[in-house]
Chain A
């Protein structure tokens, strides 16, 4: 088995004549927890979408498990991506459909099963066990749209985990949640990473939402990787101040890192 499960080399994404992302070289090793941070419009979501093959780069190669995503047919690309768990931002899914929570989590089994094969009892056992692990058993037959924002996020995580993923990609999973839910969701992701050794790539606006298990951080700024490496070193190097154009104090509390804008203090 390869050590890298995902590698990007010489990748460039152009959008209406403008270069919005440049990645010369980035590798994600199996079992790693990588946080992607950066300013608004820095290209965090774009990078995540390039990694899971939703955006095809204008130049360069994206290797997933040693296969070049750009050279595969749609069919084999789909087969290769069976073990990507992807949790997008709310704008990318239709939360208004009256799917029950159980139906939603069962969607995670879709790609694992071949076409024309129905989900069987074993699949539903996996589905139910993830619902239970997320503490959502009570809401099992409620509709997804009737759940609270935090519960919806938990349901999406259960959906991704039901897929038995090797790599979990989360795009700001804590957006629009209150601070308690933010804490809970990151705790869950941290726990999942510890227990199942799943590789995690998590985009986050706030450094405090990266759990203590996240040892590596990629800092994006205007489409470029400004820093990539050990979280402590990146935060201490002053590169964050350059990206955000303000003076920053870093506070460490209970394993999490909080940024404070010092410019006006």
Chain B
């Protein structure tokens, strides 16, 4: 085993942990589509920066920042359009833009297609540093705004009516969400990042009691999905992204069955 092997493992663990933690809030606010929308706009952003020949980090950051700001305008229960429907339309638009961009690119498309499934195996040290820094920034945010985030997850209406600085915290959350997804995208891929956001958090919500244990479990589950998935793919020579997605789904299935079993025995 060489140092590169451990670098990939570490990168996977950090990406899994930060998306798992992010997922606690996204799933808790009942808006998993937000994750998929932002990650796909980041993907579209990467493709257009390749197409225009600008810095490949600039595009996704701008795209996801713009999309998270416009998603901030979507408020469940405030308009006749269901929030999830609005997000689905937005997602389709981003997907359309992505494939339009892919169609316009001449020559090799392997780099672009790597964005769909990620390329953990081509990770560089610099990107590991970036995702670690952003992951820590998000942890800091979650600690500082812990009490506000809890009310936001429980009910945005209660938060707003009772004087919690709801829109401020929510916008900050969306902006950070966009950044985290944008920096993790090249490693994890647009399709897989969605499963790392939803599965670990959903699994944690099944079996945990109390917010702190949810946060802890989702982070560990996210990390475990990435690391186990990577190891499985390494030893059995299977596609990495697919293995990680399947492991995260298995973790969810196990915790969901555990909850059902516990209910039956109690």
Contacts and interface: CB of A to CB of B under 8 A. Distances in A.
Contacts of A169: 161
B147 A75 contact: no
A86 interface: yes
Interface in A65-89: 74-75, 78-86, 88
A93 B76 CA distance: 11
A115 B163 contact: no
A104 interface: yes
A144 to B, nearest CB: 9
Contacts of B153: 94, 97
B28 A85 contact: no
Contacts of B151: 107, 110
Contact of B165 (A52, A75, A94): A75
A92 interface: yes
B252 interface: no
A99 B28 CA distance: 11
Interface in B145-160: 145-148, 150-151, 153-155, 157-160
A78 B163 contact: yes
B150 A107 contact: yes
B161 A52 contact: yes
B91 interface: no
A66 to B, nearest CB: 16
A142 B266 CA distance: 14
Nearest to A51: B161
Given A54-B160, A78-B165, A115-B165, A97 B147 contact: no
Contacts of A111: 162-164
Contact of B147 (A92, A93, A113): A113
Contacts of B154: 93-94, 97, 99, 104, 107
Contacts of A110: 147-148, 150-151, 159, 162, 164
Nearest to A113: B147
Interface residues of A, number: 44
Contacts of A163: 162
A103 interface: yes
Interface string B154-180: 110111111111111100000000000
Contacts of B150: 99, 103, 107, 110
Interface string B106-142: 0000000000000000000000000000000000000
A143 B30 contact: no
B77 interface: yes
Q: Which of B158, B165, B205, B211 has the most CB of A within 10 A?
A: B158
A16 to B, nearest CB: 6
Contact of A75 (B30, B77, B162, B168): B168
A101 to B, nearest CB: 10
A116 interface: yes
Contact of A98 (B77, B168, B214): B214
Q: Which of A82, A83, A115 has the most CB of B within 10 A?
A: A115
A78 B170 CA distance: 14
A216 B77 CA distance: 30
Given A98-B214, A107-B150, A110-B147, A82 B158 contact: no
A81 B166 CA distance: 12
B105 interface: no
B147 A107 contact: yes
Contact of A103 (B148, B161, B163, B211): B211
Given A98-B209, A100-B209, A88 B168 contact: no
A181 B29 CA distance: 29
Contact of B157 (A92, A107, A143): A92
A86 B162 contact: yes
Given A88-B158, A143-B210, 12 more contacts: A54-B157, A75-B165, A86-B161, A88-B157, A92-B157, A93-B157, A94-B29, A94-B30, A107-B158, A110-B159, A113-B147, A118-B147
Interface of B: 28-30, 77, 80, 144-148, 150-151, 153-155, 157-169, 205, 208-211, 213-214
Closest 10 CB pairs of A and B: A81-B163, A93-B155, A82-B163, A86-B161, A111-B163, A52-B161, A110-B147, A92-B157, A111-B164, A78-B163
6 contacts: A81-B162, A83-B163, A92-B157, A97-B205, A98-B209, A98-B214
Interface of A: 16, 49, 52-54, 74-75, 78-86, 88, 92-94, 96-100, 103-104, 106-111, 113, 115-116, 118-119, 141-143, 160, 163, 169
